[in-house]
């Protein structure tokens, strides 16, 4: 698989949005769904669901990090958007809508 993704962060945002939507519908919370957005900082993209940070993506390496807080990622990468699984391995370390593909 040698296809290049123009913006890997957009690919991961689509994955998060899809999983979040399926989770909320399956749990019966579709009326309470919040927006899934992404902002770009100097080094990281920040994926936000409602008012909470879901994850950070390193703009140079495409590594995916859990948040340590609103402004910074945790120390260790949980996956990479350019991997064969397009970052799905980042969901494997726990978290809410992990099982919704």
Say if 100 falls within a structural domain. Answer: no
Q: Give one word for 27, left, alpha or beta, with left for phi > 0 and alpha for psi -120 to 50.
A: alpha
On whether the CB atoms of residues 30 and 24 are closer than 8 A, the answer is: yes
On whether the CB atoms of residues 50 and 67 are closer than 8 A, the answer is: no
Which domain does 46 fall in, by range?
8-93
For 30-60, write each residue's pLDDT tens digit.
888 899 999 999 999 999 988 889 889 999 9
Say if 55 falls within a structural domain. Answer: yes
Reported pTM: 0.79
Widest distance between CA atoms in the chain: 40
Say if 15 falls within a structural domain. Answer: yes
Instruction: Say which residue the tokens 């495409």 belong to.
Output: 62
pLDDT value at residue 89: 65
Say if 2 falls within a structural domain. Answer: no
Say if 47 falls within a structural domain. Answer: yes
Please give the tally of structural domains in the chain: 1
Say if 81 falls within a structural domain. Answer: yes
Say if 36 falls within a structural domain. Answer: yes
d(CA 86, CA 94): 17
d(CA 54, CA 91): 11
């Amino acid at each position: 698989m040698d296809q290049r993704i123009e913006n890997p962060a957009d690919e991961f945002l689509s994955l998060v949005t899809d999983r979040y939507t399926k989770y909320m519908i399956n749990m019966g919370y579709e009326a309470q769904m919040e927006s899934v957005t992404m902002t770009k900082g100097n080094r990281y993209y920040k994926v936000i669901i409602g008012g909470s940070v879901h994850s950070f993506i390193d703009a140079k390496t495409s590594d995916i990090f859990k948040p340590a807080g609103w402004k910074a990622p945790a120390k260790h990468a949980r996956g990479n958007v350019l991997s064969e699984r397009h970052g799905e391995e980042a969901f494997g370390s726990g978290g809410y809508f992990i099982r919704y593909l």
